[in-house]
Amino acid sequence: MNVRVLLLLALPLIASASDPSPPVGVPKDARFHNGAWFRVYRERGSWQHAQEACKRLGGQLASIPDESTWNFLKPFIGDSSLWLGATDEDEEGVWKWIDGTPFTFSAWFRGEPTGTDKEFYLCTLHGAWNDARRNDDTSGFVCMWKAIRN
């Protein structure tokens, strides 16, 4: 087989691996990072509203497993107050991502989490993280869709 033919056959694989398009069901403007697509929604509401909205869209509230993912998302989040997919509702002070991703990285705002009564849900605050009540009204939420691994 000719070397040019082999190179041409490999190009689509290289292009899709480096810059994957969102699969069917994921918004076309979602951004890909570290095996998942992310999108910020500027829609006010409670943590429960945000969680249900992400599920309706076929995704989930975003997990932030590492500093790389947090640094990727920060420019899209800015200073907004947005819901993320973590809670310590089951055990005060033991934060868990709702999708089971290990909670090994955090970016808490100075003095957070406060651990005050009923502040069991994670949102962003001034470019960092904050614990908040389920019905607190934020300016939106971050959804994510994980890439399907074969």
Phi/psi of residue 43, nearest 5 degrees: -135, 110
pLDDT tens, N- to C-terminus, the chain (150 residues) = 443 433 333 333 223 345 589 999 999 999 999 999 999 999 999 999 999 999 999 999 999 999 999 999 999 999 999 999 999 999 999 999 999 999 999 999 999 999 777 899 999 999 999 999 999 989 999 999 998 754
Give domain 24-146's CATH number out of 3.10.100.10, 3.30.70.1230, 3.40.50.720, 2.30.40.10. 3.10.100.10
User: What DSSP designation does 34 have?
Assistant: T
For residue 107, what are the contacts with CB-CB under 8 A and spacing of at least 6? 64, 67, 70, 128, 129
Rounded to two decimals, what is the model's pTM? 0.85
* pLDDT at position 117: 75
Burial category of 28 from C-beta neighbours within 10 Å (exposed 0-12, middle 13-18, buried 19 and up): exposed
* pLDDT at position 115: 77
